[in-house]
Amino acid sequence: MRTGGNLADLMDRLAVVVRDRIRLGRRMRILTAQTQMSKRVLIVLPFIIFILFNILNPDYMAPLYTTNVGNFLLAISALGLAIGAWVMNRMAVLKY
């Protein structure tokens, strides 16, 4: 005890640090999983709505296929979904 301190106290502090790091790792995995689930829901939801609209009322969706403006809007929406998926993937990466 005179030269280096109490070994038991050192081991107790080390055990607390290890437990805290394990707890933090679990918390980070939970937050990352929540982000991934949100990403999947937000990406799939527009496709489901699009398919449902096509099934329920095809005449309502026909201008998207037959006009240039509709084709442009479909392309812009696909681009927006791709950018959104990329941004959500970047948000899910934790830097520590």
Task: Report the C-alpha gap between 80 and 86 in whole angstroms.
Answer: 10
> pTM score, two decimals?
0.65
The reply to whether 2 falls in a domain is no
Q: Is residue 87 part of a domain?
A: yes
Q: Residue 5: which region, alpha, beta or left (left: phi > 0; alpha: psi -120 to 50)?
A: left
pLDDT 10s digits, 67-89: 999 999 999 999 999 999 898 88
Tell me, what amino acid is at 59? D
Domain encompassing residue 56: 7-92
- pLDDT band for 4, please (50, 70, 90 cuts): low
Asked if residue 1 has pLDDT above 60, the reply is no
Q: Is residue 54 part of a domain?
A: yes
Number of folded domains that form the chain? 1
What is d(CA 33, CA 38) in angstroms, rounded to the nearest whole number? 9
pLDDT tens, position by position, 23-45: 988 888 888 888 888 889 989 99
